[in-house]
Structure 1
């Protein structure tokens, strides 16, 4: 008997018809692969500090702060600019000067700042939530994690417009062990979903143990060879297109609500359903209700710092509707959401 549940970490996925690799997503091939998105950014900042004398890097206040922490031992001044993607656009305060770097995040594939006001600052785009947009980027450098949109154990990437970025990194025992732990968890989850493995706590523990090690600087390595092989078993463009079809189908079924708003992008590039709830109480009731129906949403991101960002963190809920699911699954997910919305 199969176990049906939605969301949370990817299970092991292999496409027998795969003939492409990640590079097929992009028009340019100036790509370098790393253990993770934070490792990719770390190496890009280190490269720029040495070659272009970058001395300061700015991150949006609403962000994954584990990424920022990973880069703090670099000889760069770290600053936050006040910004989250859920408020109406306000003028961003930033000292535009040579040698400074501005991290511009494509939030959930929904919203990204217009940085045309920056003339001297180097803008680096974080495209973790919208990998396919890289070919449309106006930045000289982009980076991202691969494992948010693709079923990979680990992985990060850097793209350079002029092909001027290069670094010689190898993998190591530590990074391979984490990748193997994640791959094991992914395989066991796939077995669980097929009803051939019953110990859910086993793979959940492996996922969590692996995630806790992503912040260790020993992961400053290239993409492990075992994950390079995993990547070759995927057709990323097809997976992302399937996700987009699911999102478009699900949006047509979603009920409107003043207390639970599903954010959208004009060009249909959302990574999933990003909901902004009226307050924390509604968000928690919504989250608990979804979990009771085996739909496991995510909070993106926890551990915010500023008062306003903490408030937003407590109202946001992300629901996966990606390539793992067929139309029947999406109908079920949206039906559960609609039933809750009707009673809020």
Structure 2
């Protein structure tokens, strides 16, 4: 990868997933503190919430949030006490850093969709974690750290698990199959890639223990850890922001001087959102869906995310722009 390197100004520990990093943090806090409530945002990853956190903790509570608005900071004091733990999600890398108050609860921040954002690098939270495979070219990977504090992690109680190590290998092979599919457009490569991804995702949902990371896998993750993956995103997003047709039934989620996780498009109308999604897939542009089963009370609540990271060139951006603008032109009078 031909990217600049960035200095990570914090100690960290590598895990196989963001979920394992999150569980480690909660377990660590629980050992040292009497936790009354664990507060989670209502709009969050269902797999992490349902299969992981609820599996291990029964004192889960939820607070309302606005995942597509960034003008006001969350008032933690309105619902949490000093004996609580609050998870804050850095939505799409566009959230501001939150200052801790004297009587604040223990704050954990999830930077899975905001890796290397300003809030990620300058967090004021007690703990942070991220799922690294959302941003880096790695099969699996998670990370946790304590901002401005030395992190000491005792990995002796982490278990060795050959089935998990095999999941890494399956995910790695799936990455290779995807690369071959992009290069040679063979249906067999696509099928193998999708089968591998589905196998690994199901495996991750069903395994709730913290696994000791093999040294070879840890070295593989660290090889990419310091790459500034926001550089290309920023340039690709600027091109799309400048060239997409402005239309009143689509909102582009962006924030000045911030780099979003991807091109995030927001709709009021679910049918329009699904129509664009179908159009993109038919043209081999595969958007991701940022937790579509979450309920929002706002009018603008249906979203798709289009990846614009280091895997994609300006020619890819032109292709994406043309396909979205063609769909807008065909649908703006309906």
Give the TM-score category using the shorter length: 0.7 to 0.9
Query: Counterpart of 1:131 in 2: which secondary structure?
Result: coil
The answer to whether residue 42 in structure 2 is matched with residue 42 in structure 1 is no
- The separation in 1 between residues aligned to 2:88 and 2:278, in whole angstroms, is 32
Structure 2 counterpart of 1:9: none
Determine the structure 1 residue equivalent to 2:43.
62
Does residue 82 (structure 1) correspond to residue 68 (structure 2)? The answer is no
Alpha-carbon distance between aligned partners in 2 of 1:287 and 1:131, rounded to the nearest angstrom:
26
Structure 2 contact 94–254 (Cα < 8 Å) conserved: yes
Are residues 1:183 and 2:172 paired? yes
Within 5 Å, give how 1:156-195 maps onto structure 2.
Answer: 156-161=142-147, 162-168=149-155, 169-195=158-184
Cα distance, 1:338 vs structure 2: 1.5
Q: CA deviation at 1:240?
A: 2.7
Taking the aligned partners of 1:105 and 1:203, their CA distance within structure 2 comes to 29
2:249 is matched with which residue?
A: 259
Shift of 1:229: 3.6
Pairwise CA distance, 1:278? 2.3
**Total equivalences in the alignment:** 322
Consecutive unaligned residues in structure 2, runs of 5 or more? none
Shift of 1:90: 9.0
2:308 partner SS: coil
Deviations 1:268-296 (A, max 9, x none): 22111111012101001110111111101
Stretches of 4+ aligned residues off by more than 6 angstroms? 17-20
The answer to whether the 8 Å contact 1:300/1:316 transfers is yes
Q: Against the structure 1 CA distance between its residues 37 and 312, is the aligned structure 2 distance closer, same or farther, given a 3 Å change threshold?
A: farther
Separation in structure 1 between the aligned mates of residue 300 and residue 55 of structure 2, nearest angstrom = 29
Q: TM-score, normalised by structure 1?
A: 0.85
Q: For residue 287 of structure 1, what is the aligned residue in structure 2?
A: 277
- Which piece of structure 1 moves more, 281-290 or 157-166? 157-166
Report Cα offsets for 1:267-325 as digits up to 9, x if no partner.
22211111101210100111011111110111110332x4638x866x11111111111
Q: How does 1:80-119 map to 2 (within 5 A)?
A: 80-86=62-68, 94-111=78-95, 114=98, 119=103
CA contact (8 A) 1:155 1:223 kept: no
1:323 corresponds to 2:310: yes
> 1:114-129, aligned counterparts within 5 Å?
114=98, 119-129=103-113
Per-residue CA shift, 1:235-280, capped at 9, x if unaligned?
Answer: 6433331222211222111221110111102222211111101210
Q: What is the distance in 1 between the residues matched to 2:142 and 2:225?
A: 17
SS in structure 1 of the partner of residue 228 of structure 2: helix
- Equivalent residues of 2:230, 2:259 under 8 A apart: no
1:203 partnered with 2:203: no
Give structure 1 stretches of 5+ with no counterpart: 1-14
Change (3 A) 1:202 1:219: farther
Cα 1:208–1:58, aligned 2, differ >3 Å: closer, same or farther?
A: same
The Cα offsets for residues 153-191 of structure 1, whole Å up to 9 and x where unpaired, read as 111110112224523135421211111111011111111
Q: 1:330 to 1:18 in 2, by over 3 A?
A: closer
Q: Indicate the RMSD between aligned Cα atoms, in angstroms.
A: 2.6
Hey, what's the Cα distance between the residues in 2 that align with 1:204 and 1:178?
Answer: 14
Q: Which residue of structure 2 lines up, in the alignment, with residue 51 of structure 1?
A: 32
| Kept in 2: contact 1:56–1:76 (CA 8 A) | no
